[in-house]
Amino acid sequence: MCDIFEWFDDEAGKERIRGFMQDSSTRHSCYQGLYICEKCNYLLNATYLHIESDSDTYKNSYDCPRCTEKMPFKSIDEELDHGLALACPECGKEKLSVERFLHWD
């Protein structure tokens, strides 16, 4: 969890993470996720972080850089299983399809 603390930018989130670092029951999930603005359809590929302990829970969130609304997280894997089609962030009408791919270095 110390690795998360080093790259995490949100100062309020860092304070919450400090508290979790003291608790031995802490579990976390951290990966690149998709955030979709429900107001203007802006798409943001950003880090998803969910930390929980026996007594507390924390999920990071993002404000839309275009319209400042809170952006809900979408699980790409779950959405792919249900045939995800995203609204185009420019026109809002066309649908963007999402497909799995393997990135190999």
Residue 67 domain flag: yes
pTM score, whole prediction: 0.69
Residue 93 domain flag: yes
Residue 104 domain flag: no
Structure tokens belonging to residue 25: 């029951």
pLDDT at 63: 94
Residue 103 domain flag: no
Identify whether the C-beta of residue 62 lies closer than 8 Å to the C-beta of residue 46.
yes
pLDDT at 77: 65
Parallel, antiparallel or unpaired: strands 43-52 and 57-59: antiparallel
Cα–Cα distances in angstroms (integers) from residue 105 to residues 21, 27, 48, 78, 102, in the given order: 32, 29, 23, 25, 10
pLDDT at 64: 96
pLDDT along the chain (105 residues), means of 10: 67 81 87 86 88 90 94 73 70 73 65
pLDDT at 94: 78
Residue 105 domain flag: no
Domain count, the chain: 1
Q: Which residue range(s) make up the domain with 17?
A: 2-97
Residue 33 domain flag: yes
Residue 32 pairs with which residues in a beta bridge? 47
